[in-house]
Amino acid sequence: MGLDPDLQRFPAEFAAARDPLATRAERAQDVERFLVGVLDAVHDLVPAVKPQSAYFEALGSDGVRCWERVIRAAHERNLLVIGDVKRGDIGSTAAAYAQAYLTGMEGCDPATLCDAITINPYLGTDSIEPFLAACRQADAGLYVLVRTSNLGSAEFQAQGDPTLSDRVAEAVVRWGSELVGECGYSSVGAVVGATHPRELAHLRERMPKVPFLIPGYGAQGGQAGDLAPAFGEHFAGGIVNSSRGILYPQNPNNLPWKDACRAAAKAMVAEFQALQPGRVG
C-alpha cells in the first residue's frame, strides 16, 4: 500500500489538512493521524507500505518528523517499509542518502529507517555503490527505476537498441548478483510499471532473480490480470503497489473511511488471489 498523503483528499474529519491557514505542524499532525488510521485498518492485509517522501517533505521539518513516526507505526504493525525516495547522486551524496534512509547514524532510532528504498540509476554505477554497501550493512533492499508507470516514461526508457530500460535491467542483475538470498531473489530489485504489461514478461526473463516493485495498478490503469508475467515461480518475486485506490477509495455505500479503505484492500487481495487460487497474494 502506497502512503501518498494528498491533503485535499483526506476524510472530512481531518480539517486542518485542507485548511490554508493551518500551520505545517497542524497539517503534519493530521497526516500522521490519517495514515496511522489506515495502517490500523489494513495492516493484516498487506505485507508492506511505500511512503512517498515528497508529500512529507512538503511539510518541512514537521513533515520529516511525521515521516519517521509513520514509519515507526508501520514497523510496530509488522509491516515492511519501502521508502519511495527515488534518490540518485554522486558517490559521496549517495552515501549520505543511504545513511539517511537505510543505515542511520549513532543515536538514530532504527525503527524509523526503511527496509528498502527506490533509487534512480541515471548517474551510473558509482552512484549505486554506496546504496549496495548500505544493503550489506543493514540487510536492506533497493528498487532501481527500470521501466516506470508514468505517461512520459517512454521518452527515454524505451529508446535505443537495446533500450535504456534493457540496459538498466542488465545493470540491476549485475549489481545484485552477490546479494541473492535464500529464496532465490536479490536484495536489488526493479521498479517496473503495471501500465506496461507487454514488457513485464520480457523484463522478467531478463531479470529472473530480481524482485519487482510494480506501481501503476488501479488508479493508473494497471489490471491484476495483466501482471501475472511479472512474477516468477510460485507467484513470487513481485509486490504490487496501490496508493490512491486504498487511501481514497470509491465509497458508494458511505462506509466509515477506515472501513472503506479496508474494503478496497480486501478487493485488491481478492483480485490477485483469483490469479492463483489458494494463495493469499
User: How far apart, in whole angstroms, are the C-alpha atoms of residue 191 and residue 194?
Assistant: 10
Among 50, 86, 209, 266, which one carries the catalytic annotation? 86
Catalytic, 86? Answer: yes
The C-alpha cell that represents 225 in the structure block = 490480470
β-strand partners of 191:
145, 213
User: How far apart, in whole angstroms, are the C-alpha atoms of residue 123 and residue 5?
Assistant: 29
β-strand partners of 36:
none
Query: Which residues, other chains included, contact 91 with Cβ-Cβ below 8 Å and sequence gap of 6+?
Result: 126, 127, 129, 130
The C-alpha cell that represents 24 in the structure block = 505545517
Cis peptide before 162 (omega within 30 of 0): yes
DSSP string computed for 249-280: ---TT---HHHHHHHHHHHHHHHHHTTSTT--
DSSP string computed for 24-73: HHHHHHHHHHHHHHHHHHHTTT-SEEEEBHHHHHTTHHHHHHHHHHHHHH
Comparing CA positions, the residue from 45, 140, 64 lying closest to residue 98 is 140
β-strand partners of 186:
180
Which positions are catalytic?
Answer: 86
